[in-house]
């Protein structure tokens, strides 16, 4: 398996896409090797994402419409989507939610809401789940009283809105 993944990484480095016949042959071989075992297909998906060298290749494959359905490629794209969603959620947590949690503290409705957002973002595996977590706080912080903007509630609501992700 590692040999096939390394070969695929080499082809991707040359600019080959999922439409290339040699790439399709490699991926179909991986699928055939897995048989109907979904755990093995999941292993292939994780193997395609292990090094990060296939990120652009998998993103291109996700955007490409049509073409043959190759289970190994679909697994790789699915795993890549989860990895990207987790990276995005971590970025949002570090840039927006954690600083607000520190300023607000853990007590009260605001503290509990931020804690729920934190948990939801940590568990997010897709853009839809990220958006669901952000939408918990947007209406609350948009309407929360903030005399003169000193507490930054409106700014935080705008930051959450800016971080909404496209859903596919």
Residue 150 has pLDDT above 80, yes or no: no
Under 8 Å between Cβ of 122 and 89: yes
For the chain, what are the domain ranges?
Answer: 2-82, 83-162
CA 55, 61, 64, 65 torsion: positive or negative? negative
Residue 1 has pLDDT above 90, yes or no: no
pLDDT at 157: 94
- Hey, what are 108's tokens? 């009260």
Give the phi and the psi of residue 97 in degrees, each rounded to 5: -70, -50
CATH architecture for residues 83-162:
Up-down Bundle (1.20)
| 11-58 residue pLDDT tens | 999 998 888 899 889 999 999 988 888 999 999 999 999 998 999 999
Please return the burial class of 143, using the count of CB atoms within 10 Å of its CB with bins 0-12, 13-18 and 19+. Answer: exposed
Under 8 Å between Cβ of 120 and 139: no
Residue 130 has pLDDT above 70, yes or no: yes
- Mean pLDDT for 90-117 is 94
pLDDT at 168: 66
Q: Where are the alpha helices (DSSP H) in the chain?
A: 2-13, 21-34, 38-49, 55-63, 71-92, 98-104, 108-123, 127-143, 153-162
pLDDT at 151: 75
H/E segment holding residue 75: helix 71-92
| 53-99 residue pLDDT tens | 999 999 888 887 666 788 999 999 999 999 999 999 999 999 999 99
């Amino acid at each position: 398996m590692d040999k096939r993944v390394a070969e695929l990484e080499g082809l991707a480095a040359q600019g080959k896409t999922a439409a290339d016949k040699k790439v399709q042959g490699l991926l179909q071989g991986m699928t055939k090797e897995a048989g109907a075992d979904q755990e093995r297909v999941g292993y292939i998906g994780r193997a395609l994402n292990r090094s990060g060298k296939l990120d652009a290749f998998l993103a291109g494959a996700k955007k490409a419409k049509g073409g043959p359905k190759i289970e190994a490629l679909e697994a790789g794209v699915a795993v890549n989507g989860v990895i990207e969603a987790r990276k995005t959620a971590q970025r949002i947590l570090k840039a927006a939610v954690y600083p607000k949690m520190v300023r607000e503290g853990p007590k009260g409705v605001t503290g509990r809401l931020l804690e729920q957002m934190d948990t939801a973002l940590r568990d997010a595996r897709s853009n839809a789940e990220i958006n669901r977590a952000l939408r918990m706080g947007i209406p609350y912080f948009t309407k929360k009283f903030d005399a003169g903007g000193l507490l930054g509630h409106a700014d935080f609501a705008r930051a959450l809105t800016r971080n909404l992700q496209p859903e596919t």
